[in-house]
Amino acid sequence: MLRFENVSKSYGSRSVLLDCTGRFAPGAYALRGPNGIGKSTLLRVLAGVDEADGGDIVIDGQSLRAQPAAAKSRLSYAPDECPVYPFVTGRELLAFVAWAKRCAIPDKVTRIVERFGLARHLDTRCGAMSLGTQKKLMLAAAWIGEPAVLLLDEPSNGLDADARAVLIDLLAAQRATSVVFMSTHDKAFADAIGAAVVEFETLTNS
């Protein structure tokens, strides 16, 4: 479902990713490594936010380079921060993501919104939300469009205990049908989901 081969990425003269290779079947995977090694960069490149300098990325059988729209319609990405329009409301963001993926907002997302306690924040602008609320919104949006691959950057950061438990529940269920590929320093969180640990260095040496 998620395959990438010889993926490289440099910023100027600084090489961040060098020949990263990985192949992942449905399941949960916790990407680990020291700060600044390139985990977030790898997720951004796999999500198509940053273009790889070289290599191939395949999402659910669709090449991100050759068919970016088809590949992106099969993935969801929740960054660590909230780099979305600060002036759109939560409701507008969800509607926008559904429009981009040419689908309706599924009932499942409505239930996730309720479970996260997001409903009362949906008419608040993203820029005025707390970090935890922004995080919940990005995570709820990740379930729009039946994604085959979920790329989550530090998904448990900033969540309260209840939301963390809800997220564990959701991801543990999702891993049966999708690839949940996340970077996290939260070992207890990864264990609760049943995620296999992937050391960042193993991707560059394989």
Partner 1 sequence: METAIASPLLRLRLRWYAVSTARLLLRRWQAIALATGVLASANASAFGNLDTFARPLLTLLAPGHGAAWRIGYLLALLLLAAAWAAMQREQIAGGPFMAFAGSLPFTPRQRRNADLAVLLLADSPLLLVAASALGLTAGRGAPAAHAVLLCDVALLALVAQRAVLERRHGAWPGVMAGALLAGACFGTRLALAANVLVGAAAVLALVLAPRPRAQRRAWRPRAQRARPLALGGRHGAALQVSVAILVRERRGELLAKSLSATAIVAAAIGLATLFERDTRSFPTVLLAAGCVALAFSGLFRGLHLAHRASMGYAGALPLPARWWRPFDLVVVLAAALPFLAALAAYAWAIGAAPPARVAAALVSNGALLCALRTPQLISDRHAVVLATLVAGCWTAATIACLL
91: contact with partner 1 by CB under 8 A: yes
State in angstroms the smallest separation of the CB of 99 from partner 1. 4
Select from 18, 70, 172, 192 the one that contacts partner 1 (CB under 8 A): 70
State in angstroms the smallest separation of the CB of 65 from partner 1. 14
DSSP-derived secondary structure letter, 18: E
Select from 5, 53, 63, 68 the one that contacts partner 1 (CB under 8 A): 68
149: contact with partner 1 by CB under 8 A: no
Show the 3-state SS of 97-152. Answer: HHHHCCCCCCHHHHHHHHHCCCHHHCCCEHHHCCHHHHHHHHHHHCCCCCCCEEEE
Paired with 179 in beta bridges are 27, 149
37: contact with partner 1 by CB under 8 A: no
110: contact with partner 1 by CB under 8 A: yes
State in angstroms the smallest separation of the CB of 79 from partner 1. 6
Residue 193 near residue 171, CB atoms below 8 Å: yes
Select from 28, 31, 37, 109 the one that contacts partner 1 (CB under 8 A): 109
Alpha-carbon distance 38 to 34, whole Å? 9
Residue 180 near residue 168, CB atoms below 8 Å: no
- Interacting residues of 163 by C-beta distance below 8 A, sequence separation 6+: 116, 117, 132, 136
Q: Which is nearer to partner 1, 72 or 175 (CB)?
A: 72
Binding site for partner 1 (CB under 8 A): 44, 47-50, 68-73, 75-77, 79, 81-88, 91-92, 94-102, 104-105, 109-110, 113, 119, 122-123, 125, 138, 151
